[in-house]
Amino acid sequence: MTSNASQPDWVPPEGGEGFATRIVAGGPASAARGRVRSAARELGAPELAKRILAGDRVALARGITLVESRSAAHRLAAEELLALVNDRAGGSLRLGITGVPGAGKSTFIEALGSQLCEDGWHVAVLSVDPSSPVTGGSILGDKTRMERLSRHPHAFIRPSPSGCELGGVARRTRETIALCEAAGFDTVLVETVGVGQSEVLVRDMVDCFLVLLIAGAGDELQGMKKGIIELADLLVVNKADGDNRARAEAARLDFSRALHYLAGQEGAWHPPVLTCSAQTGEGVAGVWETVEKFIDQARARGDFEVRRGTQQLTWLQAQIEEGLKELMLSDPAVRAEQAEIVRLVVAGTLPPAAGARRLLAKIAKK
């Protein structure tokens, strides 16, 4: 395999070094299970909460493993833990970062995170990387990412739990954010790959959503970006260095023009488009200044509180829906009825609406 074999399709033939990238095949993280078992056995939720609140990294990692677990017993312990640390959650600035594979997300987070740590911030980096339902592989699952940042005493990096569905990933990430905040992290960077639905989920759990772009990435990608761009609070064209500087600047102007047509209400925040080089660090401080400006304005307008409140509600609804589904499928009689209804609906003998009503009636009787 040549080194180009792992480059995505949109890398232009003349793209040069600036487009160097790779996609790493991932796999399910089943190894976590054993660790949860021992964590739950050794420490109860109150002790774990106490240690997390004292800033103990090992306890934090265990707490996260607990919220990632799918076992019902762990779920109860996780809920108890979350309730115990609840008063100390919510205190961080939550920044979401998305971009296609190869846009430079991990290089950018390494540069920004290291700078923030130097400035005295405590930075947690989380990834939302739902594994492909087809291959089970993950796109962010590269163990060598953000090496420098991971060694900084103020930083905490937690790779995504893979092998779970989108809804589960969202819940676990929200809970992980809360645990990191309880442990004293005042900045949480949530990274996600901009190739599917995960960026919409992440937009729903952060205070500011940043889209990292690259110049000359091709029509296919531009199409993909359209939906994402509308979610962005801030756009950054990365890799503005060397031969690529002029192209990055031209892309910045293109995106600014495109955004002009999406302009929101009078007086509202207009997402700016910036350029930076995550590799040289140029422009990264400016990106952070813009994030802070956005947050300041959102706080002054009251938008910050509204957004957080809406996100709490979304979280509540997602939890209720997840619980209902679990409740429903835990009953063998309901499962059997569901299988029968599915068979009839697929065969065309029962209309879907009537099938749904029949199943709901069965659940209501329970």
Applying CB under 6 A, which residues contact ligand GDP?
Answer: 17-18, 20-21, 99, 101-107, 238-239, 241, 277-279
In angstroms, rounded to a whole number, what is the distance separating the alpha carbons of residues 297 and 234?
Answer: 13
We find the least distance from the C-beta atom of residue 17 to ligand GDP, in angstroms, to be: 6
CB-nearer residue toward ligand GDP: 56 or 282: 282
Q: How far is the CB of 136 from ligand GDP (least distance, A)?
A: 19
Shortest distance (Å) from residue 31 CB to ligand GDP: 23
99 or 159, CB closer to ligand GDP?
99
Closest residue by beta carbon to ligand GDP: 104
Strand order of the sheet with strand 234-237? 155-158, 123-128, 187-193, 93-99, 208-213, 234-237, 273-275
Task: Give the residue with the Cβ less far from ligand GDP, 105 or 158.
Answer: 105
Of 85 and 100, the one with the shorter C-beta distance to ligand GDP is 100
**Would you say the C-alpha torsion 100, 103, 106, 108 has a positive or negative sign?**
negative
In the complex with ligand GDP, which residue's Cβ is closer, 65 or 279? 279
Q: How far is the CB of 187 from ligand GDP (least distance, A)?
A: 19
Nearer Cβ to ligand GDP, position 108 or 185?
108
Query: CA 93 to CA 181: how far, in whole Å?
Result: 9
d(CA 172, CA 42): 22
Q: Bridge-partner residues for 192, per DSSP? A: 98, 128
Longest pairwise C-alpha distance within the chain: 69
Q: Tell me the residue length of the chain.
A: 366
Cβ-based nearer residue to ligand GDP, 246 or 268: 246
Assess contact for 297 and 306: CB atoms under 8 A.
no
CB of 64 to ligand GDP, least distance (A): 21
Q: C-beta of 74: minimal distance to ligand GDP in Å? A: 31
Helices of type H across the chain: 32-42, 45-53, 57-68, 72-85, 105-118, 147-150, 166-182, 198-203, 219-229, 245-260, 284-301, 303-329, 332-347, 352-365
CB of 101 to ligand GDP, least distance (A): 4
Q: CB neighbours of 86 closer than 8 A, spacing ≥ 6?
A: 178
